[in-house]
């Protein structure tokens, strides 16, 4: 279980001074209980801050990577349902008004989960998320991007909200999401290896980090996963690992009980 972290209650200001190669992030209205997951001052990444949301599948990907690599990182919640991501201060931090955003030790900001994952893998190379062979790396990226660019973008909160604003009901929105997930899982199943414990080998990598959060969404919205036994088998093995278990949405301090509206 992750340690308690503070919830963002107001705008976040980011001020960058690249002329002196320093950057400062000023947070306003942060709960006084904010603390890092690992209190060791010199732990890798201890001065980094991840802005995310418990149910965000993109934030979930980054949380898994941080845990796999043993990187201690402060986490702050940006409530996507109440609209904290479009607050003026946070939008200055991340102009795309989404999550995740990773503030580095020197105050520089990275956005977009796939870019963050690549940076983490290059900066903290052990354990690797990608294989060393260029062809194998391309294959892993192709599978991962199938989830990250073909499935997730048409299922995210903004798109579904737009569908509803155009007059589509909840049932139609769910059918929309499940249709794209089914298509994506069908393609993904054919891109990964058929005979390994994880997507491409004996340990999880970039493709697994994209698959597991998307399967969380599939379970949430009742997507029929019966045709995807290979994928749910990988899911079972991944979630048995501590790094995946601690990154699960329901294990996050900002998680909202299922009975509450989200």
Q: Look-up: residue for tokens 């597991």?
A: 212
DSSP 257: -
Q: Look-up: residue for tokens 């891109």?
A: 191
Model pLDDT for residues 50-92, shown as the tens digit of each residue? 999 999 999 999 999 999 999 989 999 999 999 999 998 898 9
DSSP labels for 27-47?
ESSB-TT---SS--TTSTTTT
3-state SS class at 91: helix
**How many helices (H) and strands (E) would you count in the chain?**
9, 6
Q: What is the 3-state secondary structure (H, E, C) of 198-244?
A: CCCCCCCCHHHHHHHHHHHHHHHCCCCCCCCHHHHHHHHHHHCCHHH
Q: Which of 45-54, 195-204, 235-244 has the lowest mean pLDDT?
A: 45-54
* Cis amide bond preceding 132, omega within 30: no
Q: Which two tokens stand for residue 187?
A: 């393609």
Mean pLDDT computed over every residue of the chain: 84
Q: Which two tokens stand for residue 219?
A: 């379970």
Q: Which two tokens stand for residue 12?
A: 């976040």
CA 134 to chain centroid, in Å, comes to 25
Model pLDDT for residues 103-156, shown as the tens digit of each residue? 999 999 999 999 999 999 999 999 999 999 999 999 999 999 999 999 988 888
CA pseudo-torsion sign 62, 17, 31, 80: negative
Do 105 and 45 contact (CB within 8 A), yes or no? yes
Q: Is the pLDDT of residue 204 over 80?
A: yes
Angle at Cα 243 formed by Cα 237 and Cα 249, nearest 5°?
A: 90
3-state SS class at 49: strand
Closest CA to 78 of 30, 16, 25, 24: 30
Which pLDDT band holds residue 8 (cuts at 50, 70, 90)?
A: very low
Q: Is the pLDDT of residue 246 over 60?
A: yes
Do 45 and 67 contact (CB within 8 A), yes or no? no
The pTM of this model reads 0.81
Q: Is the pLDDT of residue 175 over 90?
A: yes
């Amino acid at each position: 279980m992750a340690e308690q972290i503070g919830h963002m209650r107001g705008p976040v200001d980011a001020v960058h001074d690249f002329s002196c190669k320093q950057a400062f992030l000023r947070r306003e209205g942060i709960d006084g209980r904010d603390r890092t997951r690992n209190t060791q001052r010199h732990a890798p990444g201890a001065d980094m801050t991840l802005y995310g949301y418990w149910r965000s599948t993109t934030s979930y990907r980054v949380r898994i990577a941080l845990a796999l690599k043993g990187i201690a990182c402060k986490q702050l919640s940006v409530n996507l349902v109440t609209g904290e991501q479009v607050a003026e201060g946070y939008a200055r931090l991340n102009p795309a008004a989404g999550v995740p955003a990773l503030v580095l030790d020197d105050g520089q900001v990275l956005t977009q989960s796939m870019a963050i994952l690549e940076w983490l893998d290059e900066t903290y190379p052990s354990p690797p998320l990608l294989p060393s062979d260029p062809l194998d790396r391309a294959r892993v990226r192709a599978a991962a991007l199938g989830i990250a660019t073909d499935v997730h973008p048409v299922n995210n909160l903004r798109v579904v909200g737009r569908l509803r604003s155009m007059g589509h009901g909840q049932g139609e929105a769910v059918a929309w999401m499940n249709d794209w997930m089914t298509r994506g899982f069908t393609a993904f199943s054919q891109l990964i290896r058929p005979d390994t414990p994880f997507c491409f080998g004996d340990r999880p990598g970039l493709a697994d980090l994209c698959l597991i959060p998307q399967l969380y969404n599939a379970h949430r919205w009742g997507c029929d996963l019966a045709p995807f036994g290979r994928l749910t088998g990988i899911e079972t093995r991944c979630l048995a690992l501590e790094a995946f278990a601690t990154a699960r949405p329901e294990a996050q301090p900002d998680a909202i009980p299922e009975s509450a509206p989200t």
